[in-house]
Amino acid sequence: MPISKQKLKKENQNLTKRIAELERINKQRAKNTKQAKEVRAKLRPYLDKISIPNTAILDAAAKSAQATSTPKSAEQIAVIQKQIRELSTAIHRLEMIEKNRILANRREKARDKARQVERQEFIHLHEKSREKTTAELLEDLKDQLFYDAFPPRS
């Protein structure tokens, strides 16, 4: 069954429209990606300050914006919400890692301090025992000199 010239023209028009629509969508995606990068760049200095309660506020703001926006911008808002949650989670993980590192450093310093105190106590006791021995030697020497000067009468 031969295809008519009109059907081919119609199909060609449909394909041309579809290609134009796909190109427009692709340009919009590129624009959205560029905007998202700009937003991320602007938000980067503030990401350290974002905490979990702030993301709840952002979620509520995004939901209210979704109610008044077009479906595409609602999708964009959902993507941004997801990115904010991921960033918040990453920040939280980094904070926990930093906190654990600080605690480990504190524990290590406490161990070092305890070792140093033990070492000082050992040195002090050792010196004290050496002093005692020296004092005993002096006492023995004094006794010896006394006996040499005044030998016992037998």
Nearest to 63 by CA among 46, 37, 84, 39: 84
Quick check: 83 and 43 in contact, CB under 8 A? no
Give the pLDDT of the chain (154 residues) as one tens digit per residue.
567 778 788 888 888 888 888 888 888 888 877 877 777 777 766 665 655 455 555 666 555 555 554 556 667 777 777 877 777 787 888 888 888 999 999 999 999 999 999 999 888 888 877 776 777 888 888 888 888 888 877 6
Residue 31 is predicted with a pLDDT of: 82
Q: Is 139 domain-assigned?
A: no
Over the chain, what is the mean pLDDT? 77
Domain that holds residue 19: 8-117
Residue 148 lies in a domain: no
Give SS3 for 92. helix
What's the token pair of residue 119?
A: 């070492």
Q: Is residue 151 included in any domain, yes or no?
A: no
Is 17 a member of any domain?
yes
Long-range Cβ contact pairs of 56-61 (< 8 A, separation 24 or more): 58/84
Domain count within the chain = 1
Give the pLDDT score at 113.
93
